[in-house]
Structure 1
Amino acid sequence: MATVSEKDGMFWSLVAWGGGVVAFLVVYVVTRSLFGGTAPDGLVFAAVAFIVVASVLTARLGPRDADPVVPHAAPVAAPRPAVMASVAAPVAAAPVVQPVEGHSERVSEAAREAARLAADLDAPVATPTRPERMDAPRDGTPDNLKKIKGVGPKLEELLHKLGYYHFDQIATWTPEEIAWVDTNIEDFPGRATRDDWVGQSKVLMAGGTTEFSQRVDRGEVY
């Protein structure tokens, strides 16, 4: 024997199909009256209308599944201390994840670099002091200061005006004297420090050569 919900579903199904039949007849009559033509032409449009209307009404009016009845959940008793301890034990025993190989080294290197930068910031700032100058080059002939990387013709001329003609003069500059030069070479502030003029001059003063000075000797620069 059909239940109430089944009877209700059959009723709405009949309504949907009835609507499809009505749509079939209406479309068939309208198509024939407007466009004329043979019976198969009207039947095609009417059949499409029947399928569309019946499907839409079935989807709209068809029975819905009743919402499932959720039984009342029984209250859960709080676990006893012994049970809680047994549950917590596996969590406590979970293995410790090891750091990715190389990660600790990178962290250490970053820490060392941060410490170095902090030390540089805390270091006292050197008071600029002008290096000892000369009124003219020895024997009237200056060294070729352009062999120092970073010293071009313009800077060499400026160094001569400031009284610096020889490698041994530059090689003995102290940090305070380098600071003075860095702030007094027009248009090239900080160049003496960046290009390590003192280090290069020590090599050239001793009769050695640098890669840059060799290029100057070969005429590849300037």
Structure 2
Amino acid sequence: MDLIREYWWLIIVVVALVLAFILLRPKQRVALTESAPIRPHMARKAPPEGRGLAGEAAAAASDVTGQIFGMPVHNKLDGVKEPHDDLCRLKGVGPKFAEALHGLGFIRFEQIAHLTPTEIERIDAQLGAFRGRLTRDRVVEQADYLARDDIDGFEQKFGNL
């Protein structure tokens, strides 16, 4: 007990130093650059589909009803600003292939019509089971006609819609 009475000031200094270290120690700081790899947990989340809670409810309801009835009602949401083209009008593009193209961000004929051969190769590698269909079915050429609303030219070259 005599030790505590004589060295009380030393105990207070040690406790103060420990508290100062805990509270004032340097924190780890991480600065991400544009060249840093993006990990899955850091990826940007897709924006909500509709406007607020009502839009989210509409998206959920349309997904469920679309699955039940087997119909593509998902693009009829209130939050969709730009109407989608019906990619199934292209010869050789069915609902599954159109869904794969939608998944890659293609919703308009103009987007497909302006693809370069390099872009076609890059996209083709991402299509999985539909690999090679863009060139084999001449989808880019068909999309060019439909983007220009040249229905007669399309039907002369590829047959009736």
TM bracket, shorter-chain basis = 0.3 to 0.5
Q: TM-score, normalised by structure 1?
A: 0.33
Q: TM-score, normalised by structure 2?
A: 0.45
